[in-house]
Structure 1
Amino acid sequence: MHYFLKADYFIMEDELRQGGYLEVKDGHFGNWRPILPAVEPVIPIIDYGKATIAPGLFDTHIHGVGGADVMDGDTTALHRMAALLPAAGVTRFLPTTLTAGTVELLDCCRKVAELIERPMENAARAEGIFLEGPFFTEKHKGAQNPRYFKAPDYAEVERLQQASGGHIVKVAVAAEYPEAVPFLEKLRQAGIHGALAHTDANFEQADRAMKAGGQIFVHLYNGMSGLHHREPGVVGTYLHSEHAFAELIADGHHVHPAVLAFTAQFKPDRTILITDSMRAGMMPDGEYLLGELAVEVQGGIARTKKDGSLAGSTLQLLDAVKNMVMWTTLDLAAVWRMASLNPARSVGMDGRLGSLRAGKVADFLVLTPDMTLQETWLAGRKIWSAEEKTNANQ
């Protein structure tokens, strides 16, 4: 397919451009042009009027949605997740595991590999696996099951990677383990992106782990030692860093909007918006399971029934973007990068994903002037439409 997109605005990689035309050919973006050149033969123009064209969103930390969870060990659940995510503007995602036993994780990795290698039509694409656990410590366990916590073991990652067909792209670890530094170094040598999470490390421990390869701080402020003026902790390690990335859950519950704002404004090109969504995402309030833990959702906030810990979220990534537009002084293009280009950068996929730059895969969204999602396109093909959904429900 070869066509031009016409709209009032385009969220480009570094700025919001008004008007013009964006070429799409064979599932990839061409150049944006202020004026359409004379072409022969005539190439179709899709005119979206006052709409905004934006890059597809990339959720690099998501456990579940629509009643389905990655840890269900069920291809039906994974298919449901992939099918629902385009309605939230997500075109790419990393199915994310929870702390569990090795046998369960092996099975989960095999199932996700099937989804990656045989993607569904009209669905978001899984781009790899994020292994969140079991290499954590108990003080900041959150909704992870401490029964399965263990020291970092690269041999176990190798087994899981073999089961996944090489699709594990991101692994989290608690930085205070003595084994953390050599473990992260081995991940980096293998081309796997290291992350720090559910950790009570001090600044020195976290700094060593970060320099060894732990370049992604998982759901910053949550599940880690906080910032103190005499002990910077894991949070301070990120704020002091130059090149690390930090995930933020921008729902206003996990992190106060003011803290979200100053963190994002301090390092906008290193901030990643995630959902950390569990199976209650896109579902009503009620009782759910997150792994083996009972969770109650009230007012969209998920907490474990045992101790009231926050248990993931029900946030949708497009809503996280809208929240950050409200809560920060950053422009729309800068905020949008946090949910598209920055996530792709954090896992080394920005060469083909994350923006409307020429040569990249043509994942894009069509938004109304009030930022309501109208259409979702993946690789140059429409996979979701609000109008078609409305018609189907009538």
Structure 2
Amino acid sequence: MSTLIIHSATLYDGSIGGTTDDGALRIEDGTITHVGTTGDSRTWPSDGAEIIDAGGAPVVPGYIDVHHHGGGGVAFDDGPEATVRALAEHAAHGTTRAVLSYVTDSLDLMEKRIRDGAAIVRDNPRVIGLHPEGPFLDPGHKGAHPEHELKDPTDENVRRLLDAGEGTIVQMTIAPERNNGTEAVRMLVDNGVVAAVGHTDASYETAREAFDNGATQLTHAFNGMNGIHHRAPGPVVAALRDDRVWIEIINDGIHVHPQVVRSLFLEAPQRVVLVTDAMSATCNPDGDYMLGQLKVKVRDGIARLAEGGSLAGSTLTMDLAVANAVRKVGVPLDVAVAAATGHAARCIRMDDRFGRLAVGYPGDVLILDAETLLPTRIWADGEAVEPA
């Protein structure tokens, strides 16, 4: 049996306000067995344990990314071997649980990729679900999705993807104003899938209707949707006004200005979810890449479509998203950590299993550098991961 005890830490448990000074935790065989103070830890079983003095550094749950597409030069769409490689790149930056996101393609190809992804979810406990980001999106807000593959979310089309996922799809992005959009939202909810509003031309009123019919997430707020106008508040304000809705944000300083990110945290700190929307170029040099069917140029770490120049995902990692939230946006560390851990788990209804430093939860733990807030030590299921 492997045992790890970390003491003399500032523990952030994955919730806002859930901070313990001079804290400690114990992991045995991949599961957290004890959480308390350094004084408490002296009474815990320690025979054969690795004992680490954190020196007061922040210790937080492993990060959960519910919306990203790849890394290390490959995309999740490229198949199981590519997925393993991309996941390893993100794990080195503290992402210990992942939802695999897929861009729009033909329904036939999306079905195949989702079936492959479903097998990964069954085989790899660190992959906790799938997220088809298309093809039920608005052509006018398509972003980096091929317009000719976009479709209405008819019952048949939605059912094809759900069946391919065999219960592993945890969320699906949809433009609710498309034909059958309201019915599709209800269908997703009835099948236990989080309906996320995104890549949409929805007005405030249409977004409110989608939320009233069961949608509970906003895909990368501000991107791929109408912005806030004083006479047309749009879907972001609709989400802010509804306590049932989780709000994704890509906090790379490029997709959304830090002061706009700050506004979201100030108004709805309990419902912001940090995501990376990372594409294949993440953790790789600048160059030319593909995002699904579309060519992407990455220059100075910014990914844009070769044709049209639209932002095409990001090259962000979750450790930087959290650090940016504190250092550039001005969010307290407990709030930033919650947005990458407990909130991420809650928005896909897995907070009973992931996203917390609590007894019975997996040994997904990060020790952060007190200055940079980047991980210096990483464990997933109690197994050490080499940080980047």
TM-score category, normalised to shorter length: over 0.9
**TM-aligned CA deviation for residue 164 of structure 1:** 2.5
Alignment partner of 1:22: what SS?
A: strand
Matched, 1:58 2:60: no
The CA deviation at 1:138 is: 1.1
- Aligned equivalent of 1:372: 374
Partner SS, residue 161 of structure 1: helix
SS at match of 2:159: helix
- Does residue 161 (structure 1) correspond to residue 166 (structure 2)? The answer is no
List aligned pairs for 1:74-223, cutoff 5 A. Answer: 74-119=79-124, 125-223=126-224
Distance 1:280 1:3 in 2: 34
Q: Output one character per residue of 1:76-131: Cα deviation in whole Å (capped at 9) or x when no partner.
A: 11111122221110001111011110110011012112222222xxxx82111001
CA distance in 2, matches of 1:154, 1:127: 25
Cα separation, 2, equivalents of 1:296 and 1:38: 56
Q: Secondary structure at the match of 2:273?
A: strand
**Size of the alignment, in residue pairs?**
381
Name the CA distance, whole Å, in 1 between partners of 2:281 and 2:146.
18
Cα distance between partner residues in 1 of 2:142 and 2:66: 20
Letter in 1 for 2:246: F
Q: CA deviation at 1:378?
A: 1.4
Q: What are the equivalent positions in structure 2 for 1:263-282 lying under 5 Å apart?
A: 263-282=264-283
Change (3 A) 1:183 1:8: same
Separation in 1 of the partners of 2:122 and 2:18?
34
Tell whether the 8 Å contact from 2:3 to 2:46 is kept in structure 1 after alignment: no
- The offset of 1:16, in angstroms, is 2.6
Over the aligned positions, Cα root-mean-square deviation in angstroms equals 1.7
Q: C-alpha offsets along residues 116-160 of structure 1, whole Å, 9 cap, x if unaligned?
A: 2222xxxx8211100101001111111111111111123333222
Runs of 5+ consecutive residues of structure 1 not aligned to the other structure: 390-394
Q: Which residue of 2 aligns with 1:392?
A: none
Gaps of 5+ in 2: none
Instruction: Give the distance between the partners of 2:335 and 2:25, measured in 1 at CA.
Output: 20
**TM norm structure 1:** 0.92
Say which SS state the counterpart of residue 310 (structure 2) adopts.
coil
C-alpha change, 1:227 and 1:361, in structure 2 (3 Å) is same
Q: Deviations over 1:203-260 (max 9, x none)?
A: 1111101111221100100100111121111122112222201110001111111101
SS in 2 for 1:280: coil
Structure 2 counterpart SS, 1:8: strand
SS in 1 for 2:237: helix
Structure 1 counterpart SS, 2:262: helix
| 1:13-32 correspondence runs (5 A) | 13=15, 14-32=17-35
Equivalent residues in 2 for 1:349-368, closer than 5 Å: 349-368=350-369
- Quick one: which amino acid aligns to residue 380 of structure 1? G
**What is the percentage of aligned positions where both structures have the same residue?**
33
